[in-house]
Amino acid sequence: MPTYKAINLIKRPTGPSSPELFEIVEKEVPNIKSGEFLIKQNHMSLDPAMFGWMSPDTESYIPPVELGTVMRSSGVGEVIESQHPDFAVGDKVNGMFGWTEMLVSDGTGVNKLDKSLSDEMILSVFALPGLTATKGLYSFGKPKEGETIVVTGAAGSVGSIVGQLAKADGLRVIGVAGSEEKCAWLTDELGFDGAINYKSDDISAQLNELTPNGIDVYFENTGGPIQKLVFDRMNAHGRLIVCGMIADYVGGEPAPGPSWMNAIRKRLTIQGFTMPDHFHETPQLLEKLTPYVMAGKIKYRSHTLEGLESAIEGLNLFFTGGNKGKLIVKL
Amino acid sequence: MPTYKAINLIKRPTGPSSPELFEIVEKEVPNIKSGEFLIKQNHMSLDPAMFGWMSPDTESYIPPVELGTVMRSSGVGEVIESQHPDFAVGDKVNGMFGWTEMLVSDGTGVNKLDKSLSDEMILSVFALPGLTATKGLYSFGKPKEGETIVVTGAAGSVGSIVGQLAKADGLRVIGVAGSEEKCAWLTDELGFDGAINYKSDDISAQLNELTPNGIDVYFENTGGPIQKLVFDRMNAHGRLIVCGMIADYVGGEPAPGPSWMNAIRKRLTIQGFTMPDHFHETPQLLEKLTPYVMAGKIKYRSHTLEGLESAIEGLNLFFTGGNKGKLIVKL
């Protein structure tokens, strides 16, 4: 019998990702029944949110992955067998496929995609990153031409799209990233007005210099010391979108946040948000995002790892900042 | 010539209020011109926001009081001379009159009031406290029947109204205050479902016991250690209204706030707000508030000090929590 590989989560992390948290299993390719189809996954996405999904239940936005089951992830694949009326062999599909080379589906939560789009573009722009950027920026950030936005994790999959959308809308866009190479990409390739390397720059001085008119919108993907500095430079009626706190995803008590004193003085709105609450808005979000992509305003780069098992260590690139662009595993 | 007294701010505070910050001046009662009227102030309001008004400009919501000018405050008075077509001798009026026994006005920012309302009720319910409570609770708190709200500074002028409005709307209402007497007032007189004495109770254990279903709305008037405990018990999609941080109004660097990690996990909305941004909504806010007052749902108590000079030390009651009810100075 032909077989395929999958990876189950078997232990909850207390630190970075490591092989002891997972088991690699080999399964027989099942026979499909009427109303089902078989997907061969070609690319799967690695996202910072996965650390939340692996952690014990903290009343998070979606329940944690059950121990002993396939690790959760989104991916793009191809239908290779079908007894389902709406899915034909050769269809390109995406969904929350998990860390597996193959899966059987009844169509629930699976979308058919235009075959002309590359898997990389789908996972980097039209899936979680683009939806998250679009929802967070427009619904909560309420950007206005001429305003200043600061984005952390700016070279990451979400942050890079947020910054480009804001730039296209006429904002002054300052990105925060973790290497000179990433900062250069932001300013030279994506057209950001400035970039701060939080690992080497005098972040306070740089921030002050790059935001002479203060900050109106803050898109937070990382946490870390930049947070308080930005908070203290927010203008009256500023909007802060809290989308990620990668600096605090694992390990003990998270670092405290800024005093709320300035939240009063500046009448700030701080909005925590996660995309799964808004998946039902996907059609409208794509309608908003697509014209920017069509107009060539949204560049992306993906960082592709090879083979299912590469996902395990690959996740740690979010902590080291070692990834350049959207992390994708090629199967 | 007849005279009256006023108090000017002459120095910015770096700690509690004290006589060196002010000068008491005696002025001649001026002659009014056409289009003006003379107000004799009878009661003036002391509010925690005054510390913000006295402080150096921190891009606060209204500019600081200029040194050498009358200290800012709201009050209720009576027109005693008039050459203004809309204001007659004997009219009851309120406005931002400042720390003065008399003032000349051209009517700007002055409202005429129903003479049947006591000055205490005006300053305790229908002025800043009631407007602030109504705006904050309904526009940002979005309370729903059956939800749980926690209010800090609950025995204060704003907090007590917030709690009573929420109670009237069918929420579970927990107040945080600084004495047994205040806590008893909240539960026995105002009908709160529970009260926590932050000075003596095991606040963590009490909070957990009194909010078995978590917390949906947090109305923050004080800051202090309760903040993080409440933050960590917020339910998904909870709303936090940051209205006051009296614990941090003076003295060095304010204490840090809670990590934003839970803002993401619970998709919280944290809204800093101050009433001056919303003064133009006063008619609608009074329309919302008045029926609750008419129905006897809003009790208040005022704590009256005697004489203009009593304002100086009186302000410090906000730090000690020594006031029982709305602080008012009778002139």
Residue A61, pLDDT score: 63
CB A278 within 8 A of CB A303: no
Rounded to whole angstroms, the Cα distance separating B2 from B102 reads 11
Helix (H, G, I), strand (E, B) or coil at A236: strand
Section A284-297 average pLDDT: 94
Q: Hey, is B20 helix, strand or coil?
A: helix
The residues spanned by each domain of chain A are 3-116+301-330, 128-278+286-292
Helical packing angle, A282-294 and A157-168, nearest 10°: 70
Q: What is the radius of gyration, based on Cα positions, of chain B?
A: 20
Q: Are A61 and B267 a contacting pair at CB < 8 A?
A: yes
Mean pLDDT over residues A30-36, rounded? 95
Strands (E), B49-165: 69-70, 75-82, 92-95, 102-105, 111-113, 148-152
- Residues contacting residue B325 through CB under 8 Å, at least 6 positions apart: B124, B155, B157, B160, B300, B301, B302, B303
Q: Which residues of A touch B271 (CB under 8 A)?
A: 263, 268-270
Contact A14, A37 (CB under 8 A): no
C-alpha to C-alpha distance for A205 and A209, rounded to whole angstroms: 6
CA distance A238 to A273: 16
pLDDT greater than 80 at residue B249: no
Predicted local confidence at residue B276, as pLDDT:
85
Identify the bridge partners of residue A219 per DSSP, sorted by sequence position. Answer: A151, A241
DSSP, collapsed to helix, strand or coil, labels residue A73 as coil
CB contact under 8 A, A260 and B272: yes
B128-278+286-292: what fold?
A: Rossmann fold (3.40.50)
pLDDT (average), residues A102-119: 92
Phi–psi pair at B217, nearest 5 degrees: -135, 135
Please state, in angstroms and as integers, the Cα–Cα distance from residue A314 to each residue in A14, A139, B190, B299, following that order. Answer: 17, 31, 57, 61
pLDDT band at A229 (very low <50, low <70, confident <90, very high): very high
Q: How confident is the model at residue B14 (pLDDT cuts 50, 70, 90)?
A: confident
Q: Which one, of A11, A294, A306, lies nearest residue A130 by Cα? A: A294
Task: Calculate mean pLDDT across residues A12-35.
Answer: 94
The amino acid occupying position B37 is F
In this predicted structure, the answer to whether residue B277 has a pLDDT above a threshold of 80 is: yes
Task: Compute the average pLDDT of residues A248-267.
Answer: 85
- Gap between the Cα atoms of A92 and A79, Å rounded: 7
Q: What span, in angstroms and rounded, lies between the C-alpha atoms of A228 and A236?
A: 16
Q: How many angstroms separate the CA of residue B191 from the nearest CA in chain A?
A: 29
Distance CA A243, CA A227 (A): 13
For residues A295-308, average pLDDT: 95
Between positions 239 and 268 of B, the ones with CB within 8 A of A are 242-245, 248, 253-268
B88-98 confidence digits (pLDDT tens): 999 999 999 99
Q: What is the pLDDT of residue A324?
A: 83
> Cβ contacts (< 8 Å) between B268 and chain A: which residues?
270-272
pLDDT at site A243 = 95
Q: Which fold has domain A3-116+301-330?
A: Quinone Oxidoreductase; Chain A, domain 1 (3.90.180)
Chain pair A-B, CB pairs under 8 angstroms: 120
Chain centroid to Cα B311, Å, comes to: 15
Q: Which tokens sit at B304?
A: 């009256």
Query: Which pair of tokens denotes residue A168?
Result: 């296209």
The vertex-B314 CA angle with B310 and A267, nearest 5°, equals 130
CB atoms within 10 A of CB A244: 29
Q: Calculate helix-pair angle for B282-294, B157-168, nearest 10 degrees.
A: 70
A195, A226 Cβ separation under 8 angstroms: no
Q: What is the ipTM of this complex?
A: 0.88
CA distance B267 to chain A (A): 4
The answer for A 56-75 residues in CB contact with B (under 8 A) is 58-61
SS3 A136: helix
Q: Which of B59, B120, B55, B61 is nearest to B243 (CA)?
A: B61
How far CA A186 is from CA of A122, A129, A301, A303, in Å, comes to 21, 17, 11, 16
Report which residue type is found at A10: I
Residue indicated by tokens 């034909």: A88
Q: Which residue did the predictor score with more confidence, A319 or A229?
A: A229
Once rounded to an integer, what is the mean pLDDT over residues B3-26? 95
Task: Please state, as a whole number, how many other Cβ atoms lie within 10 Å of the Cβ of residue A80.
Answer: 15
pLDDT level of residue B57 (50, 70, 90 thresholds): low
Taking CA atoms, what residue in A is nearest to B263? Answer: A272
B245 vs A260: CB contact, 8 Å cut-off? yes
Mean of pLDDT values over A224-249: 92
Segments of chain B assigned E as strands: 3-9, 22-28, 37-45, 69-70, 75-82, 92-95, 102-105, 111-113, 148-152, 172-177, 194-197, 215-220, 234-242, 269-272, 302-306, 326-330
**What is the pLDDT, as a whole number, of residue B147?**
98
Average of per-residue pLDDT across A81-97:
96
Question: Could A270 and B269 be called an inter-chain contact, meaning their C-beta atoms sit closer than 8 Å?
Answer: yes
Location of structure tokens 């032909």: A2
Which residues make Cβ contacts (< 8 Å) with residue A280, sequence separation at least 6?
A: none
* B3 DSSP β-pair partners: B28
Identify which of B241, B183, B172 has the alpha carbon closest to the alpha carbon of residue B213. B172
Asked whether this chain's domains B3-116+301-330 and B128-278+286-292 adopt the same fold, the reply is no
Beta carbons of B248 and A259 less than 8 Å apart: yes
Q: How far apart are CA B76 and CA B45, in angstroms?
A: 9
**Tens-place pLDDT, residues B35-46:** 999 999 999 999
Instruction: State the Cα–Cα distance between residues A182 and A222, nearest whole angstrom.
Output: 15
Residues B275, B296 contacting (CB under 8 angstroms): no
Closest CA to A124 of A276, A315, A244, A293: A293
At residue A42 the predicted structure's pLDDT band, cuts being 50, 70 and 90, is: very high
pLDDT at A314: 96
Contacting residues of A for B242, CB less than 8 Å apart = 260, 263-264
B249-255: list long-range contacts, CB under 8 Å, 24+ apart. Answer: B249/B48, B249/B51, B249/B52, B249/B318, B249/B319, B250/B13, B250/B14, B250/B15, B250/B16, B250/B51, B250/B319, B251/B14, B251/B15, B253/A259, B254/A259, B254/A261, B254/B223, B255/A259, B255/B223, B255/B224
Specify the pLDDT at position B51: 86
Q: How far apart are CA B85 and CA B247, in angstroms?
A: 46
Put simply, whether B236 touches A (Cβ < 8 Å) is yes
- Say if residues B50 and B314 touch (Cβ distance below 8 Å): no
Q: Contact at 8 Å (CB) between B20 and B11?
A: yes
Does residue B282 come out as left (phi exceeding 0), alpha (psi in the -120 to 50 range) or beta?
alpha
Tokens of B34: 């056409």
Q: Which segments of chain A are extended strands (E)?
A: 3-9, 22-28, 37-45, 69-70, 75-82, 92-95, 102-105, 111-113, 148-152, 172-177, 194-197, 215-220, 234-242, 269-272, 302-306, 326-330
Mean pLDDT of chain A, nearest integer: 93
- A321: confidence class by pLDDT, cuts 50, 70, 90: confident
